[in-house]
Structure 1
């Protein structure tokens, strides 16, 4: 197919006296093509082949069914056969709805930017990333909170994504920002949202989340299911933290990672010129949003404790969140109650506390109290719990299980 410029060049060269063969060599085409276009006189688009007219007059019906079935042309073809008695190929239906498909894709991608006034909303989310800590790649969960107006960030690193980690991240953000927003927009995490119907938008929040929101005095709102863009500020914030704060970096310890995130947030994220607002988040926060947040007013932390039941393993420890915590060895095989609260892991048995450890971050760690291993063979600096061997010269002579007379009676005769 030649372009209008090619046809114009053919006509101009022909007017200069060039022959069809010479024009074809100049333009890189056959002389038959040159003669054909010169015969037509001007450029015209090629005629489209005629198609089946079975779907004529069904444009509105096809559009309605195409939108109803979310762009599934095969279901539209089945409806054609069942309701209209028209049997056509899937390709025929796809050609008929091709213009509609582009509109459907555009409508699904279209997003109206939603801006909030100062102090109105904070968006929160978790992102997962493998980070090298102590020369070992460890899966780290990054909690990111973003204030909707100023775009100021707060980032915390956790070893898990549990309900208490969500609460700890929120309380840390409140303390960092010096106040509480009126609304918190969150994802539909199973630890926080029990049910969210995508059609009716009915939401059932976890009772403990509702208690947490009442404790701090904010509204809870969940973003639309399967539409993360309704929480776009924080979705972009999580990606920004992954690509900028921790990408390609190694840390000597988990505490080193936390210190780096604090410094990065303070010196980089809060000082950059934001692409949407055109201002540094720290400046925008200090000028407009800091005073719009609800003051903390001495509200104490929300106590979130977990009660678990664990069985003591052969290694004299109980497993909690991928880490091992020692207990007295005499309880091996026994069921114990474990309470996780205030960064402490406490173990109870028979109504008494038998062990208490600082909660470990990450996974595959071990917290051992040597007192729990006292008396075991191989315990460090502890007497071994074993029976002392009897000296050979003091050992009693061995005794036969049966007297020799029984063997003599069986064998017959004496020895």
Structure 2
């Protein structure tokens, strides 16, 4: 029995109306007896179900979750096709296009429900990545901002950082726990490389990095990886990332890196003392009155097991050692030798030792290359300007090496 006839007579059955079979036969171009039979089958509930077609395996099967996730980001079918091709998809564009069209047609726009958070239960973490602001002298400052939010009270912790290593993440989390009065039961992260071991993870099934997992265990919280491409799962910190754009008006308005750091710190303080649109309360007050008591105590010396007390480096053939991704000079006679680096208590300086003897000290900067003047002379005298006098080398530096001050 044709499906359209069954559907046509169903409204008569639903309203308990006897149809005009002759009119139905003309409408559907069938014999009146066929129309009557359809009515009786639907009314008596004897309509035979349509036979389900056996679904054959498709080349798309391993990629359906990826395609759905990309569609949530409003990617085009062609863009998705090119993406999964690089992941090993062997099929044609037409089946990707057809599948995308079926998903878009069936998909309904789901409202994001605002959930009630529990005091002390959770925090959310993210980076505001690769921001650039210029100072009054048109010098660019490239930086990132660590973002931490307690969703219940909306208390926030922000800090400016220049690189996003796992060590930096641990330091930032430790500072966040201290500034917010303790450790929550769980913390939500996205699939950042400092947290998730991508080599062991499948799409939708993240595996935490072992060092990060141990840090989380020592700190006393449960790490949770958010679903990929679903920013709503950590909406509080995503909203904070957008709010950080309030720094943009200070472009060309600050003098140096210290003032830029102070701008970020001041923004954090402002956000914690102004009324939150989500709760209609001041985060600092709500945290103090309702949430602080539910946070777990911060463990003593949390970071100690994760950082070497003795930092050792081998001096490169450039007569440099690397510390926090920046290079610092030593005398060329130490090339190939192992040296020790000690960080000052204020974390603004490093001292470099060889066999217990201090051979060089540097201020910590974010510049790629950091040369001591004596080292610079000795490096050039041992290579490019070998055999030249110190006066000649200094003259060469003055004439040609001003770039060292810019990097």
Shorter-chain TM-score bucket reads 0.5 to 0.7
Q: Which residue of 2 aligns with 1:48?
A: none
Q: CA deviation at 1:281?
A: 1.5
8 Å CA contact 1:376–1:385 kept in 2: the answer is no
Does 2:196 align with 1:193? yes
8 Å CA contact 1:377–1:385 kept in 2: the answer is no
TM-score for both structures, normalised by structure 2 = 0.60
Q: CA deviation at 1:356?
A: 4.2
Change (3 A) 1:358 1:59: farther
Q: Which residue of 1 aligns with 2:117?
A: 116
Q: How many residues align?
A: 300
8 Å CA contact 1:336–1:348 kept in 2: the answer is no
Q: Which residue of 2 aligns with 1:227?
A: 230
Larger Rg: 1
- Matched residue SS, 1:318: strand
- Matched residue SS, 2:197: strand
CA distance in 2, matches of 1:387, 1:180: 57
- Matched residue SS, 1:185: strand
Change (3 A) 1:199 1:264: closer
- Matched residue SS, 1:270: helix
Q: Which residue of 1 aligns with 2:281?
A: 279
CA distance in 2, matches of 1:363, 1:309: 19
CA distance in 1, matches of 2:126, 2:312: 26
The equivalences for 1:143-222 within 5 A come to: 143-195=146-198, 197-198=201-202, 201-207=205-211, 209-222=212-225
8 Å CA contact 1:340–1:346 kept in 2: the answer is yes
- Matched residue SS, 1:204: coil
Deviations 1:235-282 (A, max 9, x none): 2211211x1134543422222112122222213x11332222122212
8 Å CA contact 1:143–1:157 kept in 2: the answer is yes
8 Å CA contact 1:322–1:365 kept in 2: the answer is no
2:240 is aligned, of 231, 237, 241, to 237
- Matched residue SS, 2:241: helix
Q: CA deviation at 1:312?
A: 3.5
8 Å CA contact 1:336–1:349 kept in 2: the answer is yes
The equivalences for 1:12-411 within 5 A come to: 69=64, 101-104=104-107, 106=109, 111-128=112-129, 129-133=131-135, 135-195=138-198, 197-198=201-202, 201-207=205-211, 209-241=212-244, 243-249=245-251, 250-267=253-270, 269-296=271-298, 299-303=300-304, 304-305=306-307, 309-314=313-318, 316-321=319-324, 323-331=326-334, 333-337=335-339, 339=341, 343=347, 345-347=350-352, 349=354, 354-360=359-365, 362-364=366-368, 366=370, 368=372
Q: CA deviation at 1:121?
A: 0.9
TM-score for both structures, normalised by structure 1 = 0.59
Gaps of 5+ in 2: 1-49, 72-76, 79-93, 382-386, 392-407
CA distance in 2, matches of 1:283, 1:387: 64
8 Å CA contact 1:191–1:206 kept in 2: the answer is no
Q: Which residue of 1 aligns with 2:37?
A: none
CA distance in 1, matches of 2:195, 2:353: 28
CA distance in 2, matches of 1:177, 1:386: 59
